[in-house]
Amino acid sequence: MRAVIVAAAVAFLISLFGTPLAIKVFSALKAGQPIRTIGPQTHLGKRGTPTMGGVAFILATVFAYVAGHLALTTLPERQIAQERPTMTALVLLGLLVFCGAVGFMDDFLKIRKRNSDGLSAKGKLLGQLIVGTAFGIAALYFPSTNGQTVASEKISFIRDVSWLDVGKVGAVMVFVFVIMAMSNGVNLTDGLDGLATGSSILVLGAYSLIGFWQYRHWCGDNDYRLTNELTQAHCYQVRDPLEVALIAAAAAAALVGFLWWNTNPARIFMGDTGALGLGGLIGGLAVATRTTLLSVIIGGLFVIITMSVVIQIISFKTTGKRVFRMSPLQHHFELAGWSEVNIVVRFWIIAGICCAIGLGLFYSDHLAVMG
């Protein structure tokens, strides 16, 4: 627990005091956010606000991870097994950094062209596909000394579903799909001051709790299994759950520090750099904790907003009519007359409810198994 707290504290402080530096640097480089003219007219006043702020909390998370591992050197013997960086950490932080890099290229091109056209849709998807495939292979084909891999060959809900075995190749494909879906979900949620930031804090906080709970009831902890006389069915068959809790807590805390500057009126935007990076990390957390299908509930707001875009496209192409005034969904409510702050806070509430339901289902499974 100490390592998780240290990582979170370091991430928060670096992000809180490092983001103003990012604001100055990106302002000096004239890295202002281009605004689409077809969007809500209230957004035109945001033109020129520094973007690519995701760099700040991505770096904060990486440095915090290192600090958390330094704290591990003072912990009991059974915990020092995770003192060195693990494959789980390489996969999760790799997704955060390299999905963020795809977003950075998109942001850079937008700034360079001075319009909202960055990477093409195909280019962005290709970048996500390459990153997802590379880390999917790492997650499935590089087991630990006890044979445990970061991802599973089975599709999971709260634990692996035994009859949903898709094999290694299929598991890599599922991994890639989850990463791409979550990356684009968070990216679509971005667009109002603090909306994606606050929603991601809640989701990452939920995964930090899941990771730490799995660590306290971990099949890899021989002391726990012997003390509690548990069978394999009672503990969690995951790899490096303390790493999961540490990284999720660090990322959530880094976002809290970033939110200080990103809340309405935002002084900096996370950009695609931050949105794609966060989506990649959240997708990786879902796979690493064996909660792939549960992530649809925990990240329910991202799913709802993504579906609003899908419904809008299908409706317009098949009937020529729009279901919403504008998609993604948050812009529909803007055009309906809701204030930006009202939309953000109410969507945060929805995100919080989704996380609470997801955590409730996760814990109820533990109770059912123990009962």
250 near 7, Cβ under 8 Å?
yes
300 near 306, Cβ under 8 Å?
no
221 labeled binding residue:
no
Q: Give me the phi and psi of 32, to 5 degrees please.
A: -85, 150
Structural Rg of the chain based on CA atoms: 20
Q: Give me the phi and psi of 194, to 5 degrees please.
A: 85, -5
Half-sphere exposure in the Cβ direction for 129 (13 Å, CA): 6
What is the rounded distance in angstroms from the CA atom of residue 270 to the CA atom of residue 199?
13
What is the rounded distance in angstroms from the CA atom of residue 156 to the CA atom of residue 312?
30
What is the rounded distance in angstroms from the CA atom of residue 191 to the CA atom of residue 195?
7
Using the structure block, give the residue that is written with the tokens 């599973």. 152
CA 368 to mean position of chain CA atoms: 28
What is the rounded distance in angstroms from the CA atom of residue 113 to the CA atom of residue 349?
37
Distances in whole angstroms, Cα of residue 220 to Cα of each of 326, 367, 370: 49, 20, 18
Amino acid at 143: P
328 near 178, Cβ under 8 Å?
no
What is the rounded distance in angstroms from the CA atom of residue 13 to the CA atom of residue 253?
9
115 labeled binding residue:
no
* Entry field: residues in the chain: 371
Q: Give me the phi and psi of 165, to 5 degrees please.
A: -90, 120
358 near 297, Cβ under 8 Å?
yes
Distances in whole angstroms, Cα of residue 210 to Cα of each of 232, 257, 309: 18, 22, 30
Non-local CB neighbours of 336 within 8 Å, separated by 6+ positions: 325
Tally of CB atoms within 10 A around 44: 11
Q: Which residues are annotated as a binding site for Mg(2+)?
A: 187, 272
Q: Which residues are annotated as a binding site?
A: 187, 272
